[in-house]
Amino acid sequence: MSLPVLHIGNKRLSSWSMRPWLALKKAGIAFTENLIPLDQEDTRERLLALSPAATVPVLETPDGHIWDSLAICEWAAEQTPSLWPEDKGLRARARAITASMHSGFSALRNELGMDLQREHAAIDMSVACWADIETIQTLWAHVKTGEGPYLFGTWSIADAFFTPVATRFETYCVPLSTDADAYVKTLLADPVYKEWHDAARLETWDAPFH
């Protein structure tokens, strides 16, 4: 059986692509990747050939194509359940905080676009963006178990969804609480993330934030 193919956008810019890439790597699921540069003349045509949403990421499997970063992560968790906490209560909370990131924080997304080649510097942010930053820190403090460096002790899909946020906080020099700053440093020191980051730093084309 051929390996699944994860179709992703620019590693420098595509936070949506990073999340399932991290999950698949952490799960130990073998896959190949196909990078589709964003904002090119043929980008939409190439993406439409993969999914009706015409977005990245898309996971191509023998059973069909799966689009949406959370859906791909859930596919991975069906094969590697340890991607979610074992305890059912913690697992529900992990899904809740992941869903919050998946569907919310539009001000932060719009104003602090992920760009792993951007020079680190602060910018002026709206009240709404600051509110998103405070809410994220509150969520982290609310669910943190204290039994390990990640939100639920060991690494989970919840951490995959907040790793792009951690890059934004670093890139835009966002002041954080002591605990939040420690969690950001943990995410950015992770060797699997660093593999993505190092590849992103080598990209030579440009595209808008995604």
pLDDT at residue 210 above 80?
A: no
Q: How far apart are CA 11 and CA 56, in angstroms?
A: 11
Tell me how far the alpha carbon of residue 97 is from its chain's centroid. Answer: 13
Task: Determine which of 54-68, 124-138, 162-176 has the lowest per-residue pLDDT on average.
Answer: 54-68
The chain-wide mean pLDDT, for the chain, equals: 94
Can you give the pLDDT at residue 200? 96
pTM of the predicted structure, to 2 decimals:
0.94
Pairing of strands 32-35, 58-61: unpaired
Contact between residue 38 and residue 13 where contact means Cβ atoms under 8 Å apart: yes
> What pLDDT, in 10s, does the model give residues 23-69?
999 999 999 999 998 888 888 899 888 888 889 999 999 889 999 99
Q: How far apart are CA 122 and CA 34, in angstroms?
A: 33
Task: Determine which of 8-17, 44-53, 67-76 has the lowest per-residue pLDDT on average.
Answer: 44-53
Residues with Cβ within 8 Å of residue 155, at least 6 apart in sequence: 26, 190
Distances (CA, A) of 169 to 17, 29, 31, 54, 83: 18, 29, 30, 28, 24
35: which strand partners?
A: 8
Q: How far apart are CA 64 and CA 31, in angstroms?
A: 15
* Domains of the chain (ranges, CATH numbers): 5-81 (3.40.30.10), 83-194 (1.20.1050.10)
pLDDT > 90: percent of the chain: 85
Q: How far apart are CA 110 and CA 126, in angstroms?
A: 11
Q: How far apart are CA 133 and CA 151, in angstroms?
A: 17
pLDDT at residue 205 above 90?
A: no
